[in-house]
Amino acid sequence: MTDSQAFLDDITWTTEGLVPAIAQDAATGEILMMAWMNREALALTAENGVAVYWSRSRKKLWRKGESSGHTQKVKEVKLDCDADVIILVIEQLGGIACHTGRRSCFYRTLKDGQWQENSAVIKDPKEIYS
């Protein structure tokens, strides 16, 4: 590890070596998604200014937008007071952060004990991931 990566030691990683990362729109403050990062993902994100996450299901690095084209340009990386959550302040290229084709992954709101969709699909995922 280089001195430029010493910041990684300041993070409280889970027992699996992960930290939750929240993507927040730089212009609006809207929370767009949450994903996981390992040390390599965070180091690459900090180095290149483009969001890289760890896919728990695929067990590999996931460069946001690698298949959809909806990359996240990172403007700022923030660490919370307990050093166990990252916020990536980002510019969402293509306007879609969610694999469902919506702007945000947080498109459901609890009302009267039921989840109600509050955001329309911008682009059919079949068109995005063909």
63 Cα distance to chain centroid: 10
Residue 55 one-letter amino acid: S
The number of folded domains in the chain is 1
Q: What is the mean pLDDT of residues 25-51?
A: 97
Of all residues in the chain, the percent with pLDDT exceeding 70 is 98
What secondary structure letter does DSSP report for 50? Answer: B
d(CA 8, CA 71): 23
Domain range spanning residue 47? 3-128
Lookup: tokens for 95: 């306007």
Nearest Cα to 120, choosing from 93, 94, 96? 96
- pLDDT tens for residues 64-120? 988 888 999 999 999 999 999 999 999 999 999 999 999 999 999 999 999 999 999
Helix (H) or strand (E) holding 125: helix 125-128
CATH of the domain at 44: 3.10.20.810
